[in-house]
Structure 1
Amino acid sequence: MADRIISGRTHDAYMTVRDHIADGWAASVCTVPKDAPKGEELIKLDTVFEREDVAWKSVERFARAELNNLK
Structure 2
Amino acid sequence: MANRIISSMTHDAHMTVKDHIADGWVASLCIVPKGESEGKELINLDTVFEREDVAWETVETLARAELSSLK
Instruction: Output the TM-score relative to the length of structure 1.
Output: 0.88
Shift in Å, 1:41: 3.8
- Please tell me whether residue 36 in structure 1 is matched to residue 41 in structure 2: no
1:10-63 deviation per Cα after TM superposition (whole angstroms, max 9, x unaligned):
11000111100121001111100112221x242123332111110000000000
- Percent of residue pairs identical: 63
Q: Check whether the contact 1:24–1:50 (CA below 8 A) recurs between aligned residues.
A: yes
More helix by share: 1
Q: CA RMSD in A?
A: 1.2
Q: Which residue identity does 1:9 align to in structure 2?
A: M
More strand by share: 1
Counterparts of 1:1-71 in structure 2, within 5 Å, are 1-38=1-38, 40-47=39-46, 48-71=48-71
Q: How many residues align?
A: 70
- Unpaired segments ≥5 residues, structure 2: none
